[in-house]
Amino acid sequence: MHPMITIASRAARAAGNIQRRYLEHLDSLTISSKGDNDFVSEVDKASEQVIIDTLRKAYPDHAILAEESGVSAGNEFQWIIDPLDGTTNYLHGIPQFAVSIALRRKGVLEHGVVFDPVRDEMFSASRGSGAMLNDRRLRVTNRKTLKGAIIGTGIPFRDRRHLDTYLAMLRDMITADTAGIRRPGSAALDFAWVAAGRFDGFWELGLKPWDFAAGALLVKEAGGVVSDLAGGDDYFNTGNTVAGNIRLHTLMLQTLKPHLNEQLKA
């Protein structure tokens, strides 16, 4: 295991411990609003702090991009952190949330971990070395048709600009005879579950880099493909993502294509 994965896993576990502990006391949490349907709790903040402290101790010169505290400058290594992905679930006591930590070097994803503290599942990947769930190697599914596929997604709930387009996409995914669409509520875990072969594919519009940086590497290292809506590489800029095994990814792009307007071309 790469030393950076060891450190990132340590940081993710420390944050996960905080999340499990506070889960028993949700009623007394201090919560503030960042915008429409966008909440941040003391758990998000405490989780981010322990992650940053752990990473900084090992790598004082690295740069950081973290959801709650923003950007801090450093050398060519940059940690991308979502301390608690699935805050809405968390605040409602729904046990589907995760910690996501990725490392990018000169813009290339090198390492990533997504930790599910409820199931004690540590998903990890290093570029060129494959993806793991705890000690087990991961592989995307080899399903070749949308018929029978389980597809994860995220339903827009903050930014509703593309809601009608999204609903048309959803309709086409459903009528492609998929076995079902799932909206669990943590994009980081959705990607990890594609890597683990639990989902055949996943798509969501308007994500942020910290939602998918680690997850995208997991999917690729598990043999899958991640792209923007047009099949290109621009998802770090647009936040529009499609992931799946190679065949399913192609079929999903074909299904989404008729709905791409000027703003959603990537």
Q: List contacts with ligand IPD (CB under 6 A).
A: 82, 85-88, 154, 185-187, 204, 207, 211
Residue 185 near which of Ca ion, ligand IPD, none (CB within 5-8 Å, type-dependent):
ligand IPD
Residue 253 near which of Ca ion, ligand IPD, none (CB within 5-8 Å, type-dependent):
none
Residues 84-123, mask of contacts with Ca ion (x by CB under 5 A): xx--------------------------------------
String of DSSP letters for the chain: --HHHHHHHHHHHHHHHHHHHHGGGGGG--EEEEETTEEEEHHHHHHHHHHHHHHHHH-TT-EEEETTTEEE--SSEEEEEEEEETHHHHHTT-S--EEEEEEEETTEEEEEEEEETTTTEEEEEETTTEEEETTEE--------STT-EEEE---SS--TTHHHHHHHHHHHHHTT-SEEE--S-HHHHHHHHHTTSSSEEEESS--HHHHHHHHHHHHHTT-EEE-TTSSSTHHHH--EEEESHHHHHHHHHHHGGG--GGG--
Q: Give me the least distance between CB of 228 and ligand IPD, in Å please.
A: 16
Is 82 an interacting residue with respect to Ca ion (CB under 5 A)? yes
Q: Give me the least distance between CB of 159 and ligand IPD, in Å please.
A: 9
CB nearer to Ca ion: pick between 46 and 84: 84
Residue 86 near which of ligand IPD, Ca ion, none (CB within 5-8 Å, type-dependent):
ligand IPD
In the complex, the residues that contact Ca ion under the rule CB under 5 A are 67, 82, 84-85, 211
